[in-house]
Homo-oligomer: A and B are copies of this chain.
Amino acid sequence: MTNKPSKSQNTVWHHATVTRERHEQLNGHRGIVVWFTGLSGAGKSTIAHEVEERLHRLGCRTFVFDGDNVRHGLCSDLGFSVEDRTENIRRIGEMTKLFVGAGVIALTAFISPYRRDRERVRQLVGDKDFIEVYTRCPIEICESRDTKGLYQRARAGEIQDFTGISSPYEPPEQPELIIDTSLESLERCAERVVVLLQQRGVMITPKGN
């Protein structure tokens, strides 16, 4: 230790100098939450990953949150009761808020069936940083896809509180975007999300242009 001791009373106490704005300037785009909501099998996760792929190619910093990386991790102590779903969405909301603070485009793919829970996240994150994408698809088509075999298990009574079967889904009343994966191609849905982000000014125009 060749440096002089810094006596406690002389220490300069720095705090957050790297603000959200500086993260965003470095990234070339704003941080924002793109919140996909819809039934199991509607295509939320698929679209979110396709949107991420397109944004990444544009040089954006992104991250996709879905059941795979959250339900087994941060929320591994939670089930599917109304209370647990609410707490699940609350935590995801808090976490995405931090990603937004880091200047990241956070894409979330959760059924998030309750309007009230989604509205709380919107209020938490802030209206201008929250884009709700209603990923619409008739339940018959979701069920016919049944990529994970969940509908079959829910029909057999092996899964309790399954959204659309034994638990309600409340569609958004005023989402920023509605995509319908039974009518539109994956590519078209993803393109519409990216265009909306561009229209909302998420990409920062370099200074001097």
Could you tell me if B64 and A184 are in contact, using CB atoms closer than 8 angstroms? no
Could you tell me if B46 and A3 are in contact, using CB atoms closer than 8 angstroms? no
Number of this chain's copies in the complex: 2
A1-27 interface mask toward B, CB cutoff 8 Å, 1 = contact, 0 = none?
101111011011111111000110011
Chain A residues within 8 Å of chain B by Cβ, number: 64
- Set of chain B residues within 8 Å of A104, measured between Cβ atoms: 102, 104
The listed residue (B74, B87, B182) touching A5 by CB distance below 8 A is B182
Expressed in whole angstroms, the minimum distance between the Cβ of A3 and any Cβ of chain B is 4
- Set of chain B residues within 8 Å of A12, measured between Cβ atoms: 186
Could you tell me if B63 and A101 are in contact, using CB atoms closer than 8 angstroms? yes
Could you tell me if B14 and A46 are in contact, using CB atoms closer than 8 angstroms? yes
- Set of chain B residues within 8 Å of A63, measured between Cβ atoms: 23, 98, 101-102
Check A200 for interface membership: any CB of B closer than 8 A.
no
Expressed in whole angstroms, the minimum distance between the Cβ of A84 and any Cβ of chain B is 13
Could you tell me if B102 and A45 are in contact, using CB atoms closer than 8 angstroms? no
Check A136 for interface membership: any CB of B closer than 8 A.
no
With A145-B11, A188-B3 known as contacts, the answer to whether A16 contacts B181 (CB < 8 A) is no
Smallest CB gap from A73: residue in B: B94
Check A151 for interface membership: any CB of B closer than 8 A.
no
Could you tell me if A14 and B144 are in contact, using CB atoms closer than 8 angstroms? no
Residue in A6, A61, A62, A101 whose Cβ sees the most chain B Cβ within 10 Å: A6
Could you tell me if B11 and A186 are in contact, using CB atoms closer than 8 angstroms? yes
Q: Bound complex: CA of A87 vs CA of B87, how far in Å?
A: 14
3 interchain residue pairs of minimum CB distance: A74-B94, A73-B94, A63-B102
- With A1-B183, A63-B98 given, name 20 new contacts (CB 8 A): A3-B185, A3-B187, A4-B185, A6-B181, A6-B184, A9-B144, A11-B46, A12-B186, A14-B46, A14-B49, A14-B186, A15-B46, A16-B52, A17-B49, A23-B56, A23-B61, A26-B61, A69-B101, A95-B95, A102-B104
